[in-house]
Amino acid sequence: MKVVNSLKTLKNRHKDNRVVRRKGRVYVINKTNPRFKCRQG
């Protein structure tokens, strides 16, 4: 999992990416391709 500054760019990398908020952190998760996981905050 990568920690990044901009989640908007990562969301656009794959069509299945979703931006999710958990415990004050923002995550990008992808069910079909778990390689795209990342976190902000």
Check: CB of residue 10 under 8 Å from CB of residue 36: yes
Six-digit token string for 37? 């996981």
Residue 38: the pLDDT is 94
Residue 29: the pLDDT is 94
pLDDT digits (tens, 9 = 90+) for 1-41: 889 998 889 889 899 999 999 999 999 999 999 999 999 98
User: How far apart, in whole angstroms, are the C-alpha atoms of residue 38 and residue 40?
Assistant: 7
Q: Which of 38, 40, 33, 1 is nearest to 14 (CA)?
A: 33
Residue 40: the pLDDT is 93
Residue 32: the pLDDT is 94
Residue 41: the pLDDT is 87
